[in-house]
Amino acid sequence: MARLARVPRTLALALAGVTAVLVLLTSFVLAQRATLADMREAQETTLRSRVQALESTLSRQRAVATVLADDAAVRAALGDPREAKLAAVSQKLARLREETDSAVIYLLDLRGIALAASNWRQPDSFVGADYSFRDYYRQALRDGSATQFALGTVSNRPGLYLSHDIRTEPGGSDQPARALGVVVVKVEFDRLEAEWRQAGDLTYVLDGAGQIILSSQPDLRFVPPAPVGRALASRQAVPGTAWSMVLVSSSAPAAYAGGFAAGSAGFLLLLAAVIASLRLRARRRARRAAEAERRYRIDLERAVDERTRALSEEIRERRAAEERLDRLRGEMVQANKLAALGQITAGVAHEVNQPLAAIRLLAENGIAMMPSDAAPELAGNMDSILRMTDRISRITQELRGFARKATGDLGPVVLAPALEVAALLTAGRRKAEGIQLELPKLAPDLSIQGETVRLEQILVNLLQNAQEALSGRAGAGLIRVLVDADDQRVRIAVEDNGPGLAPQIARQLFTPFATSKPQGLGLGLVISQDIARDFGGSLRAEDPPGGQGARFVLDLPRAA
């Protein structure tokens, strides 16, 4: 009988073991597949973003070559290559190179000789060099434009050469347009490859022949790509070219997720096995004696109650942790949105420079081609265009400087320009809502020990907070900036006549993610306080004079 009872028990244990193995394998496979799907979706999104960035760079540089091909000064220099005209064209090419982030821009005549170049004053100037052997030169004369990725003969650095032919204006059927030369724009992708390298994943671009021409790992350039093995790989064509971009990521996180899921399932199975074992032992003990069964049941119920309370407490803690994780995820999503908004703003400011340069170039050409007997109003309008382009250029330079990453090096920073930049960057909302800003007259040599970009970040945050507090006051809003300095410290106070700080907000003013704004993130004052501490100073809120509004005081060390 004992042997017959042992057979079903052994079979049950075997079935339980097989079931446990199946559950663990199923948990591992499902978690791994779900993680792989999420990783692939994220990878494709990242790849699309990088392809768009590369496409934007190529489109911008093609536009430079196209604009120069229609430039009257360039045509005049090719038609009459005197030294003064060529020098003026070289200066213009140098300015365009700086404004468009090109590597070099140069002008070739019909013989392939470089007559003007953006590096005309450098020791390795292209002026006078013969480029008639280059495919982009011959193809541009034949087809009108050309693209070639190659190593530079002088710099020995890889880059993309964009060329466009330059022709005279057609004079009718009896005088067709004729070729004058070729303009060439070289683009290097060091910055783009560095961004890919910082991201950690392997990113490379293949040309039409299947060779790697751009890569986050420079040693892979100009060789066929190696097999990716078990890694995740996505590929997408680069519009307007024969290129394609490939993004390769490690699949290890999917294996980690599968292992974690299998471990969790194993823990639950083990817990179920323990509970089942306890129940079987309880049944066996119950059959021995009624009294022993009663005592055992009491003990078992007590143990179950304690275990239930422990499990309930664990479940509550886990739910609380999940809720905190959800909040943090939401807050990080908002932070990423703000970071993306800052990048978009900086990108817009950067992209404005190209059409702005074209407008200025056309205006200068218009002035140069204006007849001597032109109306004075026409000359005044052209001068107004030049002044407005200068003004827009200053504004975009300030935006790009504010969006630029801080270096982390501390040094003397003149306070007056930083305060002016902060006022300029926040002027739009004040003007729209009629808010007045009173700035102090500062000594031109008054400096603090810090860093320009991060100091501007603090000042912009304080001014924006004051403006938001004054929103909707219909022209009665006033913001005052007061500066008090001695030999050691400089104290900058920002006051407003708004409703002031609520007590519950004042108590957690510098606590991360604590905010009273519906769309706020609660990180501005926290980051500003950390920057002030890095400078060796402090940021605090004080009681406003007269008891109305809010007052923030930035205390910084004075530069020697």
The stretch 108-129 carries a mean pLDDT of: 91
The stretch 221-229 carries a mean pLDDT of: 80
The stretch 512-531 carries a mean pLDDT of: 69
Whether residue 181 is predicted with pLDDT greater than 90 in this model: the reply is yes
pLDDT band at residue 278 under the 50/70/90 scheme: confident
Q: Of the candidates 456, 365, 384, 369, which has an alpha carbon nearest to the alpha carbon of residue 413?
A: 456
- CA–CA distance, 291 with 414 (Å, rounded to integer): 90
Whether residue 173 is predicted with pLDDT greater than 60 in this model: the reply is no
Is residue 99 assigned to a domain?
A: yes
Indicate if 465 and 396 belong to the same structural domain.
no
Is residue 276 assigned to a domain?
A: no
- For position 157, which CATH number holds? 3.30.450.20
For residue 517, the SS3 value is coil
Q: What's the structural domain count of the chain?
A: 3
Whether residue 36 is predicted with pLDDT greater than 50 in this model: the reply is yes
Indicate if 538 and 437 belong to the same structural domain.
yes
| Farthest CA pair distance, the chain | 125
User: What's the DSSP call for residue 131?
Assistant: -
Is residue 442 assigned to a domain?
A: yes
Of 188, 221, 238, which closes a domain?
Answer: 188
Neighbours of 123 (CB within 10 A): 5
- For position 388, which CATH number holds? 1.10.287.130
For 101, 107, 216, the CA distances from 59, given in Å and listed in that order, are 13, 20, 22
Name beta bridge partners: 248: 202, 233
Indicate if 376 and 424 belong to the same structural domain.
no
- Backbone angles phi and psi of 282, in degrees to 5: -65, -40
Whether residue 184 is predicted with pLDDT greater than 90 in this model: the reply is yes
Write down the pLDDT at residue 415.
92
Name beta bridge partners: 465: none
470-507: pLDDT as tens digits: 877 656 788 999 999 998 999 999 998 888 877 777 67
- Between the two ends of the chain, the Cα-to-Cα distance in Å is 98
Tell which wins on pLDDT, 368 or 50.
50
Write down the pLDDT at residue 537.
92
Is residue 278 assigned to a domain?
A: no
Write down the pLDDT at residue 137.
93
Q: Contact, 105 vs 175, CB < 8 A?
A: no
What Rg do the C-alpha atoms of the chain give, in angstroms?
35
Indicate if 378 and 413 belong to the same structural domain.
no
Q: For the chain, give the number of residues.
A: 560
Indicate if 381 and 460 belong to the same structural domain.
no
- CA–CA distance, 392 with 396 (Å, rounded to integer): 6
Indicate if 534 and 416 belong to the same structural domain.
yes
The stretch 127-151 carries a mean pLDDT of: 90
User: Any idea which of 251-255, 290-294, 297-301, 381-385 has the lowest mean pLDDT?
Assistant: 251-255
Indicate if 322 and 418 belong to the same structural domain.
no
**What are the b/e assignments for 158-172, b being 16+ CB within 10 Å?**
bbbbbbbbbbeeeee
The stretch 118-143 carries a mean pLDDT of: 91
- For position 497, which CATH number holds? 3.30.565.10
Write down the pLDDT at residue 1.
47
Of 404, 421, 437, which closes a domain?
Answer: 404
Domain that holds residue 376: 318-404
pLDDT band at residue 516 under the 50/70/90 scheme: low
H-helix or E-strand spanning residue 215: strand 212-215
Q: What one-character-per-residue DSSP string does 339-381 give? A: HHHHHHHHHHHHHHHHHHHHHHHHHHHHHHH--TT--HHHHHH
Write down the pLDDT at residue 394.
62
Mean pLDDT over the full length of the chain:
82
- CA–CA distance, 182 with 164 (Å, rounded to integer): 6
Indicate if 536 and 457 belong to the same structural domain.
yes
Is residue 201 assigned to a domain?
A: no
Percent of the residues in the chain that have a pLDDT greater than 70, as a whole number:
86
Q: Contact, 513 vs 521, CB < 8 A?
A: yes
pLDDT band at residue 4 under the 50/70/90 scheme: very low
Indicate if 362 and 475 belong to the same structural domain.
no
Is residue 19 assigned to a domain?
A: no
**What are the b/e assignments for 350-380, b being 16+ CB within 10 Å?**
bebbbebbbebbbbbebeeeeeeeeeeeeee
- CA–CA distance, 82 with 408 (Å, rounded to integer): 49
Is residue 495 assigned to a domain?
A: yes
- Backbone angles phi and psi of 452, in degrees to 5: -60, -50
16-26: pLDDT as tens digits: 788 888 887 88
For residue 433, the SS3 value is helix
User: What's the DSSP call for residue 546?
Assistant: G
Of 371, 404, 437, which closes a domain?
Answer: 404
pLDDT band at residue 335 under the 50/70/90 scheme: low
Write down the pLDDT at residue 525.
81
Q: Of the candidates 454, 443, 418, which has an alpha carbon nearest to the alpha carbon of residue 527?
A: 454
Indicate if 429 and 383 belong to the same structural domain.
no
Write down the pLDDT at residue 284.
81
Is residue 23 assigned to a domain?
A: no
Indicate if 422 and 521 belong to the same structural domain.
yes
352-410: pLDDT as tens digits: 766 877 787 778 877 878 887 777 888 778 877 887 777 577 666 655 655 555 555 78
Percent of the residues in the chain that have a pLDDT greater than 90, as a whole number:
17
Indicate if 478 and 394 belong to the same structural domain.
no
User: Any idea which of 317-321, 343-347, 412-416 has the lowest mean pLDDT?
Assistant: 343-347
